[in-house]
Amino acid sequence: MVNVVITPTVANLLKERGITEANVKETVDYGESTKDKAVLPAEKLNWAVKRIGAATFAVQYKDSGEVTTAFSYKVALKAITDFVSEDKTDWIYAKTNEQMYRIRADMEYIGVVRAASAWGCKSSPTAFIEEFMAIKTIAIAQMLLEKKKGA
Amino acid sequence: MSAPPEVFFPSINTDWHGHAAKRFAGPFVGVPFDRVDVDPIILPHAAIINGYTLKEFYMRPKLGLASVCWTNELYDLLPVTHWFYSNVWLRELGCKLEFKETLPPVVTGDRPIKNPEDADKLHIPDVSEIEKGPTFSGFVEGYDFVKQYFPNWFVPIHFTFCLTAMAAELTGVDKFMLWTLKQPKICHKLMETVMETSTNGAIALAKRYGFAMMVIGGVLANSDLLQPAKVKEFGMDYHIKHVKKAFKGGAGPQLWYHLCGNHSRDYMIWKDEFFSPFTVMHIGYMGKESFPVSEAKKVYGNMATIMSSVDTKLMYRGTPKEVYDVSKQMILEGKDSPRGFVHGCACEVPAYTPPGNIYAMVKAAREWGKY
């Protein structure tokens, strides 16, 4: 198991984003124990994702256990629907050593299902939503969905 | 607060707006309300039917946006307003725009790229330079006005237009099309320059307003002019980079892909576009015919809200009966599309379209698009 290390900078980030250390540890433990995670060997970086309660948590951490970032989103993965194998990322799916590529996944939030792009591969049950998508695009989309649902 | 003179029109009916807002939300939240929504993509038509000119629409953003609000209530259309024009963000790269009496702004005069060597000399304006430029200033003039006087109508839009068409305008369309075969590296350089510039425009708007819906066209990148592989190479691949970078800078989450013109040979490749939870897919034509709603639903219905495409020539030259009949058929085919359906025109409704033809679209939606 990896010993999670949270620097003061990351601790502030977690606080800003309402993520607890327990969320981080649970997510990392899940990634490590199942290998349902992505890795970036050149940078000795890992990316674990876990649904905990009403949110999905994503943690990126070094092999040493030092967390580099963490973010969360409320939309839940419903199904991976399409694979765009030409648009590749350097991230590798740890369980099968496959290079990941862009996928399209159905995401559900407050009963609404919409599609969005993420990283993944055919062997992975997990959609790896990038940080910019999670903290900007998806966050605003969630807010708009809440507003529109109440319109 | 009393409205200043530049509000131009009486207050919008708030009951109507509330109803339209609920209807507009329907396709995106999976809770259809009232009837199929209608968006004929009204731009200068709104100014013209209210006694102003096409040129005034483009030169006076506040008037343009207010006239679209008023016209949307008049026709019972959308609860949001918009104002944009093709050839955006090109003045920042050295092009001159001419505002015409009867046409949208056109690029005029000498182009900044006269020969392949010029491509390396282009300067990509950064976000702070974009913020001082004419394109951003025009949008801000309009959106600040809407935010203040029509806050419920406010959706800041980053208009990308067509990156391929814009890159072509830097040197002239004929030359650019030839270079796609003979000098593809130069075309890529121009595409990259235009893409980065437009991305910085999106980031600047998102920085000012907190978000920015992106309207992205595939106008020159179509089946009449390019092979599907080239449509991908000089069109979609740049869309993907553009959207990712703009999203990283805070733009989105709404994406509207407007594939103008004939996409009979390339419409399948756009499945690989980058999608957000608020994506609309709108394809203009299959050959010379309106793109079939049934095919749009089959290919894109599970990925995005789809939009139909009444032929703009029919809107301009056809009778209300013809527009009504076509609309009825499209609405019946599209209204149950899984991620929502909006009834629209293949492109911006022609400025001088008879108002009766827009009413025919709405009447068909009321009678055949009920939920």
Which tens digits make up the pLDDT trace of A64-81? 999 999 999 999 999 999
Quote the pLDDT of residue B1: 42
Task: Kindly compute the dihedral angle of the four CA atoms of residues B30, B73, B70, B154, in this order, to the nearest 10 degrees.
Answer: -20
Q: Which of B25, B210, B211 sits opposite A151 (nearest CB)?
A: B25
d(CA B167, CA A20): 48
Task: For residue B218, name the pLDDT band (cuts at 50, 70, 90).
Answer: confident
- Does CATH number 2.40.37.10 belong to domain B32-368? no
Query: Of A22, A49, A73, which residue sits at a domain end?
Result: A73
Residues A67, A100 share a domain: no
Residue A1 is assigned to a structural domain of this protein: no
Q: Which domain holds residue A52?
A: 8-73
For chain B, what percent of residues have pLDDT higher than 90? 96
* Domain segments of chain B as ranges: 32-368
Nearest CA in chain B to A141: B253
d(CA B276, CA B28): 12
Residues A104, A44 share a domain: no
Residue A91 is assigned to a structural domain of this protein: yes
Q: Give which of A78, A89, A137 to mutate to test B binding, by max B Cβ within 10 Å.
A: A137
Quote the pLDDT of residue B306: 98
For B229-287, the DSSP string reads: HHHIIIIIHHHHHHHHHHHHTT-BSEEEEEEEEE-TTTTTGGGGS---TEEEEEEEEET
CB contact under 8 A, A149 and B25: yes
Residue A80 is assigned to a structural domain of this protein: yes
For residue A86, the tally of other CB atoms under 10 A from its CB is: 11
Residue A42 gets which letter from DSSP?
G
Q: How many domains does chain A have?
A: 2
- Rounded to an integer, the average pLDDT of B208-219 is 94
Residues A80, A62 share a domain: no
Quote the pLDDT of residue B109: 94
Q: Which of A87, A116, A151 sits opposite B21 (nearest CB)?
A: A151
Residue A3 is assigned to a structural domain of this protein: no
Contacts of B29 in chain A (CB under 8 A): 112, 145, 148-149
Size of interface A-B (CB pairs under 8 A): 80
Q: Residue B19 corresponds to which tokens in the numbers above? A: 């109803």
Query: Of A22, A56, A73, which residue sits at a domain end?
Result: A73
CB contact under 8 A, A115 and B279: yes
Residue A2 is assigned to a structural domain of this protein: no
Residue B340 in this model has a pLDDT that exceeds 70: yes
By C-alpha distance, which of B309, B358, B362, B356 is closest to B334? Answer: B309
Residues A112, A64 share a domain: no
Q: Which of A82, A87, A144 sits opposite B278 (nearest CB)?
A: A144
Task: For residue A85, name the pLDDT band (cuts at 50, 70, 90).
Answer: confident
Q: For the segment A15-33, what is each residue's pLDDT rounded down to a tens digit?
A: 999 999 999 999 999 999 9
User: What is the pLDDT of chain B when averaged over all its residues?
Assistant: 95
Q: For the segment B273-327, what is each residue's pLDDT rounded down to a tens digit?
A: 999 999 999 999 999 999 999 999 999 999 999 999 999 999 999 999 999 999 9
Q: For the segment B74-122, what is each residue's pLDDT rounded down to a tens digit?
A: 999 999 999 999 899 999 999 999 999 999 999 999 999 999 999 999 9
Q: Residue B82 corresponds to which tokens in the numbers above? A: 């918009």
Residue B352 in this model has a pLDDT that exceeds 90: yes
Quote the pLDDT of residue A151: 53
Residues A80, A39 share a domain: no
Residue B18 gets which letter from DSSP?
H
CB contact under 8 A, B303 and A81: yes
Task: For residue B370, name the pLDDT band (cuts at 50, 70, 90).
Answer: very high
For chain B, what percent of residues have pLDDT higher than 70? 98
CB contact under 8 A, B275 and A87: no
Q: For the segment A47-61, what is each residue's pLDDT rounded down to a tens digit?
A: 999 999 999 999 999
Total residue count of chain B as it appears in this document: 371
Residue A50 is assigned to a structural domain of this protein: yes
Cβ burial, residue A131 (10 Å; 0-12/13-18/19+):
middle
The alpha-carbon gap from A1 to the nearest alpha carbon of chain B, in Å, equals: 33
